[in-house]
Amino acid sequence: MNTKLNNRPLYEDVAERLRAQIFAHELAPGSWLDEQSLAIQFGISRTPMREAIKVLASEGLVTMKLRRGAYVTEVDRGDLEQIFTILSLLEGQAAKETALKATEAQLTQLDDIHHRLEKAAADRDAEQFFEVNVRFHELIQEIAGNRWMNGVIVDLRKVLKLQRRDSLSRTGRLQSSLLEHRQILQAILKRDPVAAELAMRNHLARGLEAVK
């Protein structure tokens, strides 16, 4: 493994690498994080490894179990329902605020991103669709401009990333998701905050159904 570090605290670099391994399922949900073995693998002491694991635990990606250590979080159906309920409220509010606050330049940027979604769907490129979809949601949150709300959304979406990408492979889900994004975009372009909020909340409700 390349152990070249950036100019930042060591534990942050380690946390980033662990996070990437978790998202790639190289560290699978439910797997035990052997602190000593991981420290040896990364060529570091146990202290920065311990701090990195604490960071991931604060994000919900790692679960600390009393007297048993750290485990990659497993997301069950109950967790998903609770996460999507919160995301529906917060991202619905973000869409509402975006419809009210967005500048013409920001609306153009959002429209451009949606064109990229259309192309990814036409190409049946689920990987690219997933990545552009993330950017679409991120831009709405940026325009809304509530950093406290956005921080919660970011952490919840990290947990969803443990499994959610697979949902786009379900029959018809990619096209359904595209249609839902069109409805969100149209409401925002019309500067209709009520419709934008409802469209976003509908999108997240359909997303929950897709991961059943």
- One digit per residue, the tens of pLDDT, for the chain of length 212 reads 444 445 788 999 999 999 999 988 899 899 999 999 999 999 999 999 999 999 999 998 999 998 889 999 988 889 899 999 999 999 999 999 999 999 999 999 999 999 999 999 999 898 899 899 999 999 999 999 999 999 999 989 988 888 755 565 565 788 899 999 999 999 999 999 999 999 999 999 998 888 76
Quick one: 207 exposed, middle or buried, by C-beta within 10 A (0-12, 13-18, 19+)?
Answer: buried
Domain 77-210 classified CATH 1.20.120.530?
yes
10-72 shares its CATH topology with 77-210:
no
Residue 172: phi and psi, rounded to 5, are 80, -10
- pTM, two decimals, is 0.79
DSSP 66-104: TTTEEEEPPP-HHHHHHHHHHHHHHHHHHHHHHHHH--H
Q: What are the tens digits of pLDDT across the range 76-134?
A: 889 899 999 999 999 999 999 999 999 999 999 999 999 999 999 999 898 899 899 99
Q: Sketch the domain layout of the chain as residue ranges.
A: 10-72, 77-210
DSSP 145-160: T-HHHHHHHHHHHHHH
Domain 10-72 classified CATH 3.30.365.10?
no
Nearest residue to 199 (alpha-carbon basis) of 93, 105, 83, 86: 93
CA–CA separation, 113 vs 44, rounded Å?
41
Q: Are 153 and 141 in contact, with CB atoms under 8 Å apart?
A: yes
